[in-house]
Amino acid sequence: MEKENAKKIVFSGIQPTGSFTLGNYIGAVRNWPLLQYEYNCIYSVVDQHALTVRQEPATLRKRTYEALAMILASGVDPEKSMVFVQSHNPVHSQLSWILACNTQFGELSRMTQFKDKSAKHPDNVNGGLFTYPILMAADILAYNAHGIPVGSDQKQHVELARNIAQRFNANYGETFVLPEPFIPAVGAKIMSLQEPTKKMSKSDENINSFILLSDDKDTIMRKFKRAVTDSDGVVKYDTENKPGVSNLMGIYKVFTGKSFEEIEKEFDGVGYGVLKEAVGTSVIEALAPVQSEYTRILSDRTYLDSVMKNGAEKAQRYSQRILDKVYRKVGFVQLKNK
Ligand code: AQP
């Protein structure tokens, strides 16, 4: 382990807005356990972010447990990493206000996720949806995190967090570490199986557009068999002209470690049916151990509650020191005898 890296902090979060998709897994969660050896990792179920879209309270509660169980099933060890639920640490919301006062309206207006989500939910373009990236900046800056493992869709938000940190440091003196996105070399953006020019998303209305980590073998295979490709029948990596086939090849590459040339050779002249079946099998095999761990962990509520509690305590203790420093810097009066 590099001494310098040992001190660096990694933060990432995931919303409990549904069962995780293969996109969430490949782009983010799958990489989380691997980082535990090199960095001090902090992983959060970001339930406050989930409220930017209307949620049914009982479902949100259930999905929060499921998200935590999925993070642990993917190999994150709560003894090695800090694992907690965002709403259990009030520091995020407190810091968020200070950061909001250091963020410009114009910056938030440029966020593509805000534009996409407000178009998707025109009846609920709420303030939280607009200021979401500030809360995300607080998630990161509350721990002075350096590396933010995310899929490429979140790159813009991490860059905004960096700009806010830079501005705060310039106005008030060196306070925050400048975060940077860690984007995986392969699988940074897994596309919808039905509309391969759109990212795979757990809130997509078309259930055939995504693979869920909770899907059984038959469902996974059926969804891959129905995946939209094109009509020329040639297995070739070309994201512009063949987005569907390229997406399938990207998924296959992640789980087999084969290069695109090897994949093109393997499926030369055999057509898409064989490719779809092979991709389906590689995904089923890779997800099987995670799925059985997930079922085991999810049935143990006592364990999940204890992970949440310990994680919340650690997260709060750690981030409170940073918030105190921020409060001092902006000129808030500190209570004596604190
Ligand atoms: N299609 C994707 N490919 C690669 N990475 C992805 N991520 C999301 N979709 C893909 C990454 O997953 C992490 C957690 O995402 P999130 O749940 O916080 O929110 P999201 O990016 O908005 O994901 P969804 O699935 O699209 O959720 P909904 O439908 O609720 O909006 C992030 O690191 C993200 O980059």
Model pLDDT, residue 2: 40
Query: What distance in Å separates the CA atoms of residue 87 and residue 101, rounded to the nearest whole number?
Result: 21
Task: Note the pTM of the prediction, 2 decimals.
Answer: 0.90
Structure tokens at 83: 């694992």
Residue 194 Cβ inside 6 Å of ligand 1? The answer reads no
184-221 as b/e: b if 16+ CB within 10 A: beebbbbbbbbebeebbbbebeeebbbbbbbbeeeebb
Residue 154 Cβ inside 6 Å of ligand 1? The answer reads yes
Report yes or no: 14 and 63 within 8 Å, Cβ to Cβ. Answer: no
Nearest to 142 by CA among 89, 77, 71, 64: 89
Model pLDDT, residue 186: 77
Which ranges of the chain would DSSP assign to H, the alpha helix? Answer: 3-6, 22-27, 32-35, 47-50, 57-73, 91-100, 105-109, 112-120, 127-141, 155-172, 217-225, 243-256, 260-266, 272-298, 301-330
Q: What are the residues whose beta carbons fall under 8 Å from the beta carbon of 40, sequence distance 6 or more? A: 6, 7, 8, 9, 10, 81, 82
Looking only at Cα atoms, what is the longest distance across the chain?
A: 76
Nearest to 247 by CA among 231, 227, 266, 264: 227
Candidates 49, 124, 157, 201: which one to mutate for ligand 1, based on the most atoms within 8 Å of Cβ?
201
What value does the mean pLDDT take over residues 332-337? 88
Per-residue pLDDT band for 28 (boundaries 50, 70, 90) equals confident
Nearest to 118 by CA among 134, 104, 131, 99: 131
Paired strand residues for 12: 43
**Beta-strand pair 147-149/180-182:** parallel
Structure tokens at 196: 């391969």
Q: Is the pLDDT of residue 4 over 60?
A: no
Distance from the alpha carbon of residue 329 to the mean position of ligand 1, in angstroms: 34
Q: Percent of the chain scored above 90 by pLDDT?
A: 87
Candidates 136, 150, 153: which one to mutate for ligand 1, based on the most atoms within 8 Å of Cβ?
153
Measure Cα distances from 100 to 130, 132, 137, 153 in Å: 11, 10, 9, 22
Question: Mean pLDDT across the chain, nearest whole number?
Answer: 94
- Helix, coil or strand: residue 194: coil
pLDDT of 261-280, one tens digit each?
999 999 999 989 999 999 99
- Helix, coil or strand: residue 145: coil
Query: What distance in Å separates the CA atoms of residue 249 and residue 245, rounded to the nearest whole number?
Result: 6
For the CA of 13, the nearest atom of ligand 1: 18
- Beta carbons within 10 angstroms of residue 281's beta carbon: 16
pLDDT of 238-247, one tens digit each?
999 999 999 9
Model pLDDT, residue 338: 61
Report yes or no: 158 and 179 within 8 Å, Cβ to Cβ. Answer: yes
pLDDT of 64-123, one tens digit each?
999 999 999 999 999 999 999 999 999 999 999 999 999 999 999 999 999 988 998 899
Report yes or no: 120 and 40 within 8 Å, Cβ to Cβ. Answer: no
